[in-house]
Structure 1
Amino acid sequence: MRHDGTFDPLLKAIAGAVLAIAVAKVVWQWLSTTFWRWLSVDIWGWIADHPWWSALIAAPLALVPALLVARLLPPRGYVRYLDDDFDDEAPAVLTYGMHHLDTMDATEFERACAALLVRDGFTRVQHSGRAGDLGADVIAWDHLGRKVVVQCKHYGKPVGSRDVQTFNGTARPEHHADVPIMIGLNGFTRDARAFAARHDLILVNRQILRDWAQGTYLYDAIDDEADRAAA
């Protein structure tokens, strides 16, 4: 003890260690004797004597964790996002609000487009989105077995003709796309739309993207926009 009446920190540490060892020894002795005997003799003996009752008790105990996991996990290939436009009564199907897409960075936007393709049943969906991908941010195959090559532009303004021309130069020659699609978060300029029409490129503007992100099948959203333009 120090002159001020308190114990030296070293002595306190030693005393604490001795106490901890003593407690651990008592607990270990209880686990290795009384508890183990109860578990291995009493419980196991009861199970051996009552196999049917044991099975009836074990079945629901094993089922509960499986049901909890199944309830918590989303359906395979789907992701659920909650946003202002999401209906809590709706099924757990991937949707995005436009404000959500607006706040993403370019890579997140590409991944969101890939996830929407998975939602729509496209297969072998691959997200590249890196330098040197030659305009193929996402590659997938549709229900007709056609190769779909997608380039995603997360621009704050409409995509210009130069970007569309560049995509046209790689989508089919480099990636052998059957269905080349360019997605523009904020649409496309008039020149870009005119060039795409001449070269049979599909442009997904903001309206199509909104419909698609909110649950409309991609090709249906594209057809709906074509119908509106023709009206």
Structure 2
Amino acid sequence: MSIAQVCGVGGAMLLGAMSPGPDFLIVTRNAMLSGRRAGMASAAGVALGVFVWAVLSGLGVAGLLAASAAAFTVVKLAGAVYLCYLGVRALLAARRGAYDTAAEQVSADPVGVRAGFRQGLLNNLLNPKAAVFFVALLPQFLPASPSLADTAQVAVAATVVTLAWFVVLAVGIATLRRVFTRRRVRQVIDAAMGTLLVGLGVRIALQSN
């Protein structure tokens, strides 16, 4: 692949990553309320999910998923349920409002690095629209019969760009964590993010294939 093709993949991925969606919400919420490490861990999880989707697309597996109504529906519903689960947890936290803000700012992240990574990864892998996105994107930059090296180049380019964007997002948001972790502000954020996550989950579940 030429440098122009790799840059094209990177540019398309950057635009996709910057668009508000489930990945954006997960990284933003974890960076806001749990700090830089949790936000960056979520970014790494999303990036690994992108790498998996890119490889599967290059191998043709993602195309089979996008073409199979049953498989697409299963992944879609699983992703919708997961988003609703995260959203309901946030709404319950906002309702309780029992935040130990001072302790959270000094001690370990409430979400944690492992949980943040897991949320980012599952959130991306359970989004069937990612399969559709890569099935539409990759043929524009790969030859008709791509080699393993071609697929690897595309996957790495997509992963690096995605990771870079979400790490920058997480670090930028985490710098204002002292404001976001105030009890009243956190309640509002949890309520807003929870509502958005549940709404997004319901929207995904109701969308046609």
Alignment TM-score > 0.5, same fold: no
TM-score computed with the length of structure 1 as normaliser: 0.20
Higher strand share: 1
Which has the larger Rg?
A: 1
Bigger RCO (CA 8 Å, 6+ sep): 2
Q: Which has the higher helix share?
A: 2
TM normalised by structure 2 equals 0.21
